[in-house]
């Protein structure tokens, strides 16, 4: 007996600090249906599902189950209504066995001897959906795919008729993903409904009955997968036709600055994040890396700047090998780096503004003499920096944690640009900046280019990529699906390349 | 219904920081008052007696300064380790190792050299002894990710038992008439005192110099800058290419070395022989943690906080005798004050608001 025959979300809105994450969203799903939720990062997919799972409360709008309005004010309430969620990052206790993990989250677990009673129930479930599971193994011994299955069982045991999967394939190998799809299709046949969040077009087309495309918190389109194709979905997701609009002056590119040769890099989870990547950048050139977040951009930036270890392959700067040497030595070769997580990597929050203005540069001769720091020079430099880059701060003697995010960002950018790098690695440099600052920053990047610098630009803002870059590489699942000149007509299909459905390499 | 909302406090002024600390100390004293009450002692009388005995008489002040020497010296070293977010709980063991190395120099070479050679040698050896004891947990942490709180804490016991083994065994002196302990240090190795007191001024000078030098290292040098960055945000340290191994080992050399210097001072200035570990140091290595904390990790401020806590040690000892309180009184006072200081830190860094929700 299914508790949910249909579910409806009506006019859901949710804003964070005045910015809409969801704006008047409507969503329906009925028994035996797999609904895809497609959109770029930050489109509002996860916010919407967190509302449904009771982690957030919507500002307005209502949720209806079987045409009856209900209140979901916590995950417990949501589970009682028959909704289950498998998060992108698993909520499992690594040192406990599978059965202990399942017993922990199960509502009818007895206080004494919990394992005995629950064991039969689990075996019954794994038989019903046809997936084997070893109950006595510890979670840390399991692969990501197996851990995900435990999460699914946990949800099903608690009576979930609606299962929300948040980017379930991002941690899986292709083989594991296929197995997951078989399980999900089985569940569908038995009348479960599934909401499948993804930004991968292939998966959506393969698995889902219907797809809803979100962009910037709004629903852009909702269609049955059979009536659409990847191309139009990609267009909806990216949000426009690609328009070629290059205003930057033409400059002949110079000699090779950065040469990346066949590198393999693993991510924090130990999975291969970059697979045999090769490219180069020349003087007077900006190479843009486009792609949906999480396809290896972070790892690429970290590998080049020395923060992350390169497993195989080599990186050279102007012919000098910098593979796996320390970030400071790489900096000394003229590589500056605007990190993606600026607050996490770029500053020491409790130190003063002027201390932060020389991070990674404090060992340079101009700031230190005989192992003493020269604070008068550092302070003058800081004052110039905040004037030039419009950092609004009460004084340079304040702790940098007191500055707003945008101002911290301007300081970091100023710090990295002021060294006149021969290669600048910039991850999302204008993310979160206001219009004026964005414009100023883009001009600065073009200035570096004009002065003979090479820039590796990571951005999710395609306008920025097209406005600035000489060449554009599209990264998908750790491989390039294209490295094209910015005026190449094939870039009209950039959405498909970002989604991995088209490959020009 | 009410909801308590905790958010980061954005602008922490020096005045606010000072007032929070003062208020925490006062609140701690109030709590200690209740403990006195439970022992049927008038809290106002007991607390005023503590400060009257330590700061109110000439003898009290002399004793306070004597006890402040090791506290300040260890405390300055600890500020440095804590600033690098290395939780060194092992100063007690590092002090003992310093005492051991110093004693060895004195007993071995003391008869052959005059004081102006032997005393500096003892201090250098003591520094090395403390550093060696400090480097071990640093290496364990960086190379094998072993939690330094546990390794430093456990090393305390190893050092203490090692000394006990020496003084009942191979180092047992003939002058002790069968009791555990080494022979007295030769006269050249004994530190001179300020007449009429137990203040060994050589260590006092070392202490003040050490605090001042450390202050310069922390705030003016490249190395100090790297330590501050690593302590504030290890990820930023990684991004800036700072060598964690080198930084941590150096920090612990200095931190452990400071405690080692204090150990030499205690043996050569006060006891004049190496006896039971508990008699060499009455928990200075632990009290110094509070000293460092109260000083807001500024090496120079430890001079003030060190004198404050030395006063509590002296006054606490005095009221134990005069009011018949148990020996644990001083530790209870210190512990309570530390808890209140840490709580105060929470209220300093966070803004607490109580909201009514409908």
What is the DSSP annotation of B114-171? -HHHHHHHHHHHHHHHHHHHHHHHHHHHHHH---HHHHHHHHHHHHHHHHHHHHHTTT
Inspect the interface and report whether the beta carbons of A355 and B228 lie closer than 8 Å. Answer: yes
Inspect the interface and report whether the beta carbons of A371 and B226 lie closer than 8 Å. Answer: no
Please say whether the beta carbons of A268 and A302 come within 8 A: no
CA dihedral A210, A214, A219, A222 (to 10 degrees): -20
Inspect the interface and report whether the beta carbons of A401 and B10 lie closer than 8 Å. Answer: yes
Is A487 exposed, middle or buried (CB count within 10 Å of its CB: 0-12, 13-18, 19+)?
Answer: exposed
User: Which residue of chain A has the CA closest to B244?
Assistant: A326
Is A304 exposed, middle or buried (CB count within 10 Å of its CB: 0-12, 13-18, 19+)?
Answer: buried
Domain limits, chain B: 70-299
- Token code pair at residue A256: 């090779």
The answer, for B55 touching chain A at a CB cutoff of 8 Å, is no
The answer, for B350 touching chain A at a CB cutoff of 8 Å, is no
pLDDT score for A41 = 67
- Give which of A412, A294, A298, A295 is closest to A353, Cα–Cα: A412
- 3-state DSSP call for residue B332? helix
What secondary structure letter does DSSP report for A249?
P
What secondary structure letter does DSSP report for A352?
B
User: Which residue of chain A has the CA closest to B9?
Assistant: A402
Using a CB-CB distance cutoff of 8 angstroms, which residues of chain B are in contact with residue A373?
Answer: 220-222, 225
Inspect the interface and report whether the beta carbons of A345 and B242 lie closer than 8 Å. Answer: no
Using a CB-CB distance cutoff of 8 angstroms, which residues of chain A are in contact with residue B348?
Answer: none
CA–CA separation, A495 vs A237, rounded Å? 8
Using a CB-CB distance cutoff of 8 angstroms, which residues of chain A are in contact with residue B233?
Answer: 344, 347-349
What secondary structure letter does DSSP report for A129?
T
User: Which residue of chain A has the CA closest to B13?
Assistant: A398
Residues 6+ apart with CB under 8 A from B265: B69, B70, B73, B191, B200, B202, B203, B206, B207
The answer, for A57 touching chain B at a CB cutoff of 8 Å, is no
- Give which of B283, B270, B152, B259 is closest to B210, Cα–Cα: B259
Count of CB pairs separated by less than 8 Å, A with B: 73
Residues 6+ apart with CB under 8 A from A25: A9, A11, A12, A13, A44, A48, A61, A214, A217, A218, A219
Nearest to A362 among B10, B11, B222 (CB): B222
The label of the residue with tokens 């046949």 reads A189
The answer, for A30 touching chain B at a CB cutoff of 8 Å, is no
Q: Which tens digits make up the pLDDT trace of A76-103?
A: 888 888 999 988 778 888 888 888 888 8
Q: Which tens digits make up the pLDDT trace of A432-455?
A: 666 667 777 888 888 889 888 999
User: Nearest C-alpha of chain A: how many angstroms from B349?
Assistant: 11
Inspect the interface and report whether the beta carbons of A345 and B239 lie closer than 8 Å. Answer: yes
pLDDT score for A239 = 67
Residues 6+ apart with CB under 8 A from B170: none
User: Nearest C-alpha of chain B: how many angstroms from A370?
Assistant: 9
Complex ipTM value: 0.79
Using a CB-CB distance cutoff of 8 angstroms, which residues of chain A are in contact with residue B241?
Answer: 306, 326-331, 360
Mean pLDDT split into 10-residue runs, chain B, 358 residues: 73 83 92 90 89 90 94 96 94 96 93 91 96 96 93 96 93 85 89 89 94 93 94 90 92 96 94 91 91 90 93 88 84 89 87 74
The answer, for A334 touching chain B at a CB cutoff of 8 Å, is no
CA–CA separation, A337 vs A423, rounded Å? 9
- 3-state DSSP call for residue B72? helix
CA-based R_g, chain A, Å: 25
pLDDT score for A252 = 84
Using a CB-CB distance cutoff of 8 angstroms, which residues of chain B are in contact with residue A350?
Answer: 232
Q: What are the pLDDT tens digits along chain A (505 aa)?
A: 577 888 999 999 988 766 788 889 999 998 889 999 988 766 788 889 989 998 888 888 999 998 888 888 888 888 888 999 988 778 888 888 888 888 887 777 777 777 777 888 888 877 777 777 788 888 888 877 888 888 888 888 888 899 999 888 877 777 778 888 988 998 898 889 999 988 778 888 889 999 998 887 888 888 898 888 888 888 887 765 544 444 677 788 889 999 999 999 998 877 889 999 999 999 999 999 988 777 889 899 999 999 899 999 999 999 999 999 999 999 999 999 998 877 788 899 889 999 999 998 888 888 888 889 999 999 999 999 988 888 888 888 888 887 777 788 888 988 988 888 899 999 988 776 666 677 778 888 888 898 889 999 998 778 788 888 999 999 988 999 989 998 888 888 888 888 788 888 7
Inspect the interface and report whether the beta carbons of B229 and A346 lie closer than 8 Å. Answer: no
Beta-strand relationship, A479-485 and A6-16: unpaired
- Give which of A163, A218, A181, A202 is closest to A48, Cα–Cα: A218
- Token code pair at residue A185: 């299709």
Using a CB-CB distance cutoff of 8 angstroms, which residues of chain A are in contact with residue B232?
Answer: 348-351
- Phi first, then psi: give them for residue A260, nearest 5 degrees: -110, 125
Inspect the interface and report whether the beta carbons of B241 and A329 lie closer than 8 Å. Answer: yes
- Give which of A143, A146, A225, A237 is closest to A199, Cα–Cα: A237
Inspect the interface and report whether the beta carbons of A327 and B239 lie closer than 8 Å. Answer: yes
The label of the residue with tokens 């002058």 reads B175
Inspect the interface and report whether the beta carbons of B225 and A339 lie closer than 8 Å. Answer: no
Q: In angstroms, what CA-CA distances link B74 with A94, B229, B302?
A: 40, 23, 9
CA–CA separation, B82 vs B76, rounded Å? 10
- Give which of B129, B61, B52 is closest to B91, Cα–Cα: B129
Nearest to B240 among A328, A349, A401 (CB): A328
CA–CA separation, A464 vs B107, rounded Å? 75
CA–CA separation, B297 vs B17, rounded Å? 13
Inspect the interface and report whether the beta carbons of A351 and B221 lie closer than 8 Å. Answer: no
Q: Which tens digits make up the pLDDT trace of A370-417?
A: 889 999 999 999 999 988 888 888 888 888 887 777 788 888 988 988
Q: Which tens digits make up the pLDDT trace of B94-147?
A: 999 999 999 999 999 988 999 899 999 999 999 999 999 999 999 999 999 999
Which of A308, A332, A357, A359 to mutate: most B Cβ within 10 Å?
A359
The answer, for B235 touching chain A at a CB cutoff of 8 Å, is yes
| Count of H-run helices and E-run strands, chain B | 14, 2
The answer, for A347 touching chain B at a CB cutoff of 8 Å, is yes
């Amino acid at each position: 007996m299914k508790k949910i025959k249909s579910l409806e979300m009506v006019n859901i809105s949710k804003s964070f600090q005045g910015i809409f994450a969801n704006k008047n969203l409507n969503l329906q799903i009925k028994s035996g249906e797999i609904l895809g939720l497609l959109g770029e990062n930050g489109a509002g997919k996860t916010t919407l599902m967190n509302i449904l799972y009771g982690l957030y409360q919507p500002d307005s709008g209502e949720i209806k189950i079987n045409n009856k309005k209900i209140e979901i004010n916590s995950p417990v309430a949501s589970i009682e209504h028959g909704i289950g969620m498998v998060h992108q990052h698993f909520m499992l206790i690594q040192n406990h066995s599978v059965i202990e993990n399942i017993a922990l989250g199960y509502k009818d677990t007895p206080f004494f001897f919990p394992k005995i009673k629950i064991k039969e129930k689990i075996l019954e479930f794994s038989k019903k959906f046809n997936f084997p599971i070893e109950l006595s193994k510890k979670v840390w011994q399991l692969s990501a795919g197996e851990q995900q299955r435990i999460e699914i069982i946990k949800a099903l045991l608690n009576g979930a008729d609606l299962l929300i999967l948040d980017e379930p394939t991002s941690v899986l190998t292709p083989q594991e993903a296929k197995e997951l799809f078989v399980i999900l299709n089985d569940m569908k046949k038995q009348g479960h409904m599934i909401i499948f969040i993804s930004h991968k077009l292939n998966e959506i087309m393969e698995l889902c009955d219907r797809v809803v495309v979100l962009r910037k918190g709004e629903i852009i389109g909702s269609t049955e997968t059979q009536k659409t194709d990847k191309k139009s979905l990609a267009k909806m997701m990216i949000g426009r036709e690609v328009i070629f609009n290059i205003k930057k002056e033409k400059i002949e590119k110079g000699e090779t600055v950065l040469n990346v040769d066949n590198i393999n890099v693993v991510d924090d989870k130990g999975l291969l994040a970059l697979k045999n990547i090769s490219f180069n950048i020349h003087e007077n050139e900006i190479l843009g890396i486009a792609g949906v977040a999480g396809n290896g951009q972070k790892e690429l930036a970290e590998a080049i700047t020395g923060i992350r270890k390169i497993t195989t392959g080599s990186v050279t700067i102007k012919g000098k090998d910098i593979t796996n040497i320390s970030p400071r030595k790489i900096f000394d070769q003229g590589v500056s780096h605007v990190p993606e997580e600026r607050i996490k990597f770029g500053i020491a929050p409790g130190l003063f503004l002027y201390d932060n203005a020389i991070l990674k540069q404090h060992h340079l001769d101009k700031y230190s003499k005989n192992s003493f720091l020269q604070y008068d020079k550092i302070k003058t430099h800081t004052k110039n920096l905040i004037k030039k880059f419009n950092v609004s701060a009460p004084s340079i003697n304040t702790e940098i944690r007191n500055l707003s995010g945008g101002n911290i960002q301007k300081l970091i950018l100023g710090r990295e640009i002021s060294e006149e790098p021969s290669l600048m690695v910039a991850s999302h440099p204008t993310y979160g900046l206001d219009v004026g600052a964005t414009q100023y920053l883009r001009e600065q990047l073009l200035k570096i280019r004009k002065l003979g610098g090479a820039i590796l630009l990571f951005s999710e803002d395609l306008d920025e990529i097209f406005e600035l870059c000489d060449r554009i590489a599209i990264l998908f699942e750790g491989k390039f699906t294209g490295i094209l000149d910015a005026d190449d007509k094939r870039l009209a299909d950039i959405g498909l390349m970002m989604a991995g459905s088209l490959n020009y390499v | 219904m009410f909801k308590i909302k905790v958010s980061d406090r954005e602008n922490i002024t020096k005045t606010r920081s000072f007032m929070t600390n003062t208020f925490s100390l006062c609140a701690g004293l109030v709590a200690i008052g209740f403990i006195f009450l439970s022992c049927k002692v008038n809290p106002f009388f007991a607390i005023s007696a503590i400060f009257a005995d330590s700061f109110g008489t000439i003898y009290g002040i002399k004793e306070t300064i004597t006890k402040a020497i090791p506290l300040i010296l260890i405390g300055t070293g600890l500020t440095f380790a804590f600033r690098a977010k290395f939780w060194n709980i092992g100063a007690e063991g590092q002090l003992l190792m310093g005492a051991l190395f110093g004693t060895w120099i004195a007993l071995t070479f003391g008869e052959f050299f005059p004081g102006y050679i032997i005393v500096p040698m003892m201090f250098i050896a003591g520094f090395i002894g403390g550093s060696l004891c400090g480097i071990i947990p640093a290496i364990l942490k960086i190379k094998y990710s072993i939690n330094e709180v546990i390794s430093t804490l456990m090393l305390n016991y190893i050092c203490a038992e090692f000394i006990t083994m020496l003084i009942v065994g191979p180092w047992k002196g003939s002058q002790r008439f069968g009791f555990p302990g080494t022979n007295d240090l030769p006269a050249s190795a004994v530190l001179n005192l300020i007449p009429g007191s137990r203040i060994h001024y050589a260590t006092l000078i070392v202490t003040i110099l050490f605090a001042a030098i450390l202050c310069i290292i922390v705030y003016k040098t490249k190395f100090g800058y790297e330590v501050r960055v690593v302590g504030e945000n290890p990820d930023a340290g990684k991004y800036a290419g700072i060598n964690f191994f080198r930084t941590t080992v150096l920090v612990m050399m200095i931190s452990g070395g400071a405690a080692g210097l204090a150990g030499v001072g205690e043996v050569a200035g006060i006891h004049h022989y190496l006896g039971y570990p508990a008699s060499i140091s009455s928990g200075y290595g632990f009290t110094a943690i509070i000293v460092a904390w109260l000083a807001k990790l500024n090496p120079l401020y430890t001079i003030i906080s060190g004198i404050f806590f030395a006063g509590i040690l002296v006054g606490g000892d005095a009221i134990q005798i005069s009011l018949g309180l148990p020996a644990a009184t001083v530790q209870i006072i210190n512990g309570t004050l530390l808890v209140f200081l840490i709580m105060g830190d929470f209220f300093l860094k966070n803004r607490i608001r109580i909201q009514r929700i409908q």
